[in-house]
């Protein structure tokens, strides 16, 4: 790589935080890891930190056989550990805050806070990053982020933490007033100092993330139509958050050649690049080629040697052969039994879950026209709309007769509950003024839902599945799930949410003579019932099946093994493992080398999953409309029995 065209994130300078982000499966972890190694080796006088915020970590797998430079620390952030450390460090303050100045007692507030904290994965990540930047021990922190949807939740943490701090400050307000009024003591005490310190830390990291001289977000993508759409949306959201982004890395570009597969894929990549360059004309695009060997360990040292600034002349002429690679399915899968109620497509980001889920829903609708089927997405970065080529709403949207699709907006659904609660609170207080100190206790009540677990909105979205099935709206739901790390977290959350609900119900029961919220109580009772039904549904072999999806790479297969193990521990049945994006052997040197590597990985997969049926789907055109998706679905499954 010529020093004259070396990107800023690989040079010395004022940058303190560098985020590598984008859709799952595009090579974020590889780019982040190789960048950190390159910086550490080039600038041994500086100390660097490489950290992963993705629950399904990859860093240690990537460098498992590599001696890491002494000036580079590598950490895979464990949300549970981080939260335990946070509670241990600050528990005394939180307990004292909970014990002051409101009709709710210490047990009430402490119980709510304790039951809320375990769901805060992104909060834990944000607080640790904030702590590291405040300590200023590292020359630069390189962050391997989670896939798009949950990266955006990480970036919106300042707003969540701000609400949380206001809730805590509200608990102190009455005590602060009483202290000042009756004793004349107007100085800050230790709890005031604690909250001010937390707020200052929040402001500092928020300011840093909006400082384009010190913080940069590097978007990593591959040139595929759906990834282009998601990347454009991500850039727009980063701009809304005022997070600076200058560089886009287009990974795994395939050269044009006489090979039918490579030529078709190159053509599609050029079409996709043409779209994103037109949409983002001010960005700097860098390219990296498709490699015959997976970049791990020693190969990471050469990773940036092929980095080039994108030559726009490559994409001026739109090729005509972008759609001549037909789908190839080896050993089609048995079509699910029509009595199955929930079919979950699960896997790490970027393995093709959405495409397979959409093709499957269309095939099921064709073979079982009597069934009412819903194609449902819980991924915060929805892709069903892009895949189907139509606008899918947060309410069921008709695709065909008896086939609907839904991209549920979890945050909006919870915000409606928050607003309904506020309205109910207003009505309640108007009739209850003799019982409450309106100035302070009202504010405490208003902030109670700000102490709810951050995963509550996503769980409520997932329980919509139970609503649809129990109400008889649909006979079968095909779920395009969030990437594996967040799917596991989501499936673990019901028990945590139940703990929070138990605390909330206990509080409502304890103060039933002065607190009466029938609508909120009813909604939370329904949620509790839905959570129980959801757990029963997920653990039913007859009603639910997971179709695990992976791709033939070392990292993907290892992540899939972790996901399958975690799902089995949760009592969820895995029906089949689909290895997607396989490469057919050919006379092309690139295809031949990749196919050889993939065959070796298949042997590893067969050893890791001895009891799972394994099916293969080969590289093909990315379906761009309903007709192509139906064609893929017709090849993917055998005929219904």
pLDDT, tens digit, 9 for 90 and up, residues 58-83: 788 888 888 899 999 999 887 667 76
- Confidence class of residue 131 from pLDDT cuts 50, 70 and 90? confident
Same domain? 295 vs 403: no
Task: Kindly report the CATH number assigned to the domain that includes residue 335.
Answer: 3.40.50.300
Instruction: Look at residue 118 in the predicted model and tell me its pLDDT.
Output: 39
More confident residue, 298 or 171: 298
* Domain end residue (candidates: 266, 282, 315): 315
- Both 269 and 345 in one domain: the answer is no
The yes-or-no verdict on residue 262 having pLDDT over 80 is yes
Q: In this predicted structure, which of 3-12, 43-52, 116-125, 390-399 has the lowest mean pLDDT? A: 116-125
Check whether 397 has a pLDDT greater than 90.
Answer: yes
Per-residue confidence band for 440, with pLDDT thresholds at 50, 70 and 90 = very low
Distances (CA, A) of 511 to 434, 435, 514: 15, 11, 6
One domain, residues 139 and 260: yes
615 token code pair: 């099916």
Burial class (CB in 10 A: 0-12, 13-18, 19+), 390: middle
Mean pLDDT value across residues 111-133: 65
| Region 198-202 average pLDDT | 79
Smallest Cα–Cα separation from 146: which of 376, 487, 408?
Answer: 487
**What mean pLDDT comes out for the span 250-259?**
87
- Has residue 378 got a pLDDT over 70? yes
C-alpha dihedral sign at 352, 355, 359, 361: positive
Question: Which of 19-23, 368-372, 444-448 is modeled with the greatest confidence?
Answer: 368-372
Q: Concatenate the DSSP letters of all residues of 476-540 into one string.
A: EEEEEPPPHHHHHHHHHHHHHHHHHHHHHHHHHHHTTTT---HHHHHHHHHHHHHHHHHHHHHT-
Q: According to the model, what pLDDT value does residue 584 have? A: 81
- Mapping DSSP onto H, E and C, the string for 373-405 reads EEEEECCCCCCHHHHHCCCCCCCCEEEECCEEE
pLDDT, position 442: 58
CA distance 447 to 285: 45
Whether residues 63 and 206 fall in one domain: yes
On whether residue 585 sits in a domain, the answer given is: yes
For residue 111, pLDDT over 70 is answered with: no
Do residues 33 and 126 both lie within one domain? yes
Same domain, residue pair 164 and 265:
yes
Q: Is residue 197 part of a domain?
A: yes
Ranked by mean pLDDT, which of 145-149, 156-160, 497-501, 609-613 comes out on top? 609-613
521 domain-assigned? no
> What is the pLDDT averaged over residues 121-143?
83
Under the banding of pLDDT at 50, 70 and 90, the label for residue 44 is: very high
Same domain, 27 and 63: yes
Global pTM reads 0.77
- The Cα 521–Cα 499 span in angstroms is 15
Q: Single out the residue in 292, 315, 338 at which a domain terminates.
A: 315
Same domain, 307 and 350: no
Residue 240 located in a structural domain: yes
pLDDT band, very low/low/confident/very high, at 102 (cuts 50, 70, 90): low
User: Taking the chain, what is the end-to-end CA distance rounded to the nearest angstrom?
Assistant: 57
Residues 263 and 392 in one domain: no
The domain in which residue 71 lies consists of 14-84+122-315
135 lies in a domain? yes
pLDDT (average), residues 124-132? 79
CA distance linking residue 609 with residue 612, whole number of Å? 5
Q: Is residue 349 part of a domain?
A: yes
Q: Which residue has the tokens 């700097």?
A: 284
Nearby residues of 343 by Cβ (< 8 Å), 6 or more positions away: 336, 360, 476, 477, 478, 479, 544, 545, 547
Least confident of 92-96, 228-232, 275-279, 529-533: 92-96
Contacts of 336 (CB under 8 A, 6+ apart): 343, 364, 545, 575
Domain ends where: 315, 348, 364? Answer: 315
Q: Are residues 361 and 270 in the same domain?
A: no
Which tops the pLDDT comparison, 3 or 214? 214
Rg value, the chain, Cα: 26
Q: In the prediction, which pLDDT does 119 show?
A: 44
Q: Residues 151, 299: one domain?
A: yes
What order of strands is seen across the sheet that includes strand 48-52? Answer: 72-76, 48-52, 140-144, 17-21, 215-222, 247-253, 284-289, 308-309
In a domain, 424, yes or no: no
Kindly state whether residue 583 falls inside one of the protein's structural domains. Answer: yes
Domain count, the chain: 2
Cβ-contact 39, 161 below 8 angstroms:
no
Distance CA 27, CA 349 (A): 10
% of the chain surpassing 70 pLDDT: 74
Q: Are residues 338 and 385 in the same domain?
A: yes
**In whole numbers, what is the pLDDT of the chain averaged over residues?**
80
């Amino acid at each position: 790589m010529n020093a004259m065209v070396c990107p800023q994130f690989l040079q010395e300078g004022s940058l303190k935080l560098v985020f590598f982000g984008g859709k799952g499966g595009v090579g974020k972890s590889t780019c982040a890891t190789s960048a950190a190694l390159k910086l550490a080796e080039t600038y041994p006088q500086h100390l660097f930190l490489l950290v992963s915020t993705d629950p399904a970590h990859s860093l240690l797998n990537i460098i498992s056989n590599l001696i890491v430079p002494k000036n580079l620390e590598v950490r895979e952030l464990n949300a549970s550990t981080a939260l335990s450390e946070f509670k241990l460090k600050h528990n005394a303050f939180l307990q004292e805050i909970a014990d002051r100045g409101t009709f709710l007692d210490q047990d009430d507030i402490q119980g709510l806070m304790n039951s809320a904290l375990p769901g805060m994965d992104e909060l834990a990540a944000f607080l640790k990053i904030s702590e590291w930047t405040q300590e200023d021990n590292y020359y630069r922190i390189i962050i391997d982020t989670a896939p798009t949807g949950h990266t955006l939740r990480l970036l919106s943490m300042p707003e969540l933490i701000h609400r949380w701090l206001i809730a805590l400050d509200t608990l102190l307000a009455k005590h602060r007033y009483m202290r000042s009024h009756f004793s004349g003591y107007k100085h800050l005490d230790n709890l005031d100092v604690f909250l001010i310190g937390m707020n200052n830390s929040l402001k500092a990291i928020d300011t840093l993330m909006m400082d384009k001289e010190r913080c940069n977000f590097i978007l990593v993508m591959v040139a595929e139509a759906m990834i282009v759409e998601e990347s454009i949306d991500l850039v727009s959201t980063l701009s809304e958050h005022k997070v600076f982004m200058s560089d886009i890395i287009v990974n795994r570009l395939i050269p044009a050649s006489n090979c039918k597969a490579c030529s078709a894929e190159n053509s599609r990549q050029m079409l996709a690049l043409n779209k994103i360059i037109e949409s983002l004309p001010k960005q700097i695009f860098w390219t990296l080629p498709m490699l015959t060997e997976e970049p791990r360990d020693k190969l990471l040292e050469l990773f940036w040697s092929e980095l080039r600034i994108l030559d726009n002349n490559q994409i001026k002429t739109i090729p005509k052969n972008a759609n001549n690679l037909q789908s190839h399915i080896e050993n089609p899968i048995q079509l699910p039994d029509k009595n199955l109620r929930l079919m979950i497509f699960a896997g790490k980001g970027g393995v093709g879950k959405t495409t397979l889920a959409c093709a499957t829903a269309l095939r099921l609708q064709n073979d079982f026209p009597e069934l009412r089927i819903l194609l449902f997405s819980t991924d915060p970065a929805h892709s069903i709309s892009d895949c189907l080529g139509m606008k899918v709403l947060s309410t069921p949207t008709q695709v065909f007769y008896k086939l609907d699709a839904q991209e549920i907006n979890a945050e909006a659904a919870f915000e409606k509950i928050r607003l309904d609660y506020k309205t109910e609170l207003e009505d309640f207080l108007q009739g209850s003024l003799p019982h409450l100190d309106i100035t302070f206790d009202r504010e405490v009540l208003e902030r109670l839902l700000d102490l709810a677990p951050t995963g509550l909105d996503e769980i409520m979205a997932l329980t919509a599945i139970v609503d649809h099935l129990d109400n008889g709206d649909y006979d079968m739901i095909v779920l395009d799930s969030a990437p594996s790390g967040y799917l596991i977290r989501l499936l673990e959350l019901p028990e945590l949410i139940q703990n929070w609900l138990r605390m909330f119900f206990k509080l409502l029961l304890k103060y039933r003579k002065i607190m009466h919220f029938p609508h909120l109580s009813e909604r939370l009772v329904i949620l509790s019932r839905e959570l129980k039904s959801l757990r029963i549904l997920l653990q039913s072999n007859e009603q639910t099946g997971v179709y695990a999806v992976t791709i033939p790479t070392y990292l993907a297969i290892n992540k899939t093994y972790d996901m399958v193990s975690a799902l089995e521990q949760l009592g969820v049945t895995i029906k089949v493992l689909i290895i997607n994006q396989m490469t057919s052997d050919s006379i092309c040197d690139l295809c031949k080398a990749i196919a050889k590597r993939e065959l070796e990985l298949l042997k590893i997969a067969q050893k890791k999953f001895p009891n799972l049926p394994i099916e293969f789907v080969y590289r093909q055109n990315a379906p761009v409309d309903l007709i192509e998706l139906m064609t893929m679905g017709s090849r993917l499954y055998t005929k219904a029995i």
